[in-house]
Amino acid sequence: FTKDVSTFVGLLDRTGSVVSGSCALNLLQAERNAVIPQDMDVYTTEIFQTEVLDHLKNQEGYQCVQEVVKKSDYDSSAICKIHKLVRGERKVDIIVTDWKCALAPILQFHSTAVMNYITARSIVCLYPRWTTANKSFIHPRLYLEHITHLRTVHVLMKYKRRGFLL
């Protein structure tokens, strides 16, 4: 997804941004080849969104094709904006939070299967035993706050098809 990995890692380090989604899960389950990333999800804060956007556009050649301001059908109240970028077949989503930490949306994900992320210095899996065993717990917040949408069900079914026990 990036041509210059070390510069991108420096960007993650400088901005406190992280990569999550299928890219992180792919690294955790590399032996199984269970998840092949279709896009890269970069999580950042409002303060650093311009720097991250500029880097991906100017240094990596991506074009912004859509900017989505927070919608109620996103399961995370920590997400305030999403920038959708493309470069040929490659897709990058820059997910912006108005919280102080880029990790806030990850902690609100629909299930533990995707509560993983890559920083400039490490790969973090919040539920390593479950994730590596293809087990996942659905976040109770979805039920308690009545925020389960059809989109959430589709995403959960995607992980079920990938062999996760939910």
pLDDT per residue as tens, the chain (166 positions): 999 999 999 999 999 999 999 899 988 886 666 677 889 999 999 999 999 999 999 999 999 998 888 755 544 579 999 999 999 999 999 999 999 999 999 998 889 999 999 999 999 999 999 998 889 988 877 666 666 677 777 878 887 887 788 8
Q: How far apart are CA 142 and CA 127, in angstroms?
A: 18
What pLDDT was estimated at residue 7?
Answer: 98
Q: Residues near 156 by Cβ (< 8 Å), separated by ≥ 6? A: 110, 111, 138, 166
Whether pTM > 0.85 for this model: the answer is yes
What pLDDT was estimated at residue 157?
Answer: 82
Of 107, 146, 99, whose CA–CA distance to 124 is shortest? 107
What pLDDT was estimated at residue 46?
Answer: 96
Which CATH class, in words, describes the domain spanning 5-161? alpha beta
By the 8 A CB rule, do 21 and 119 touch? no
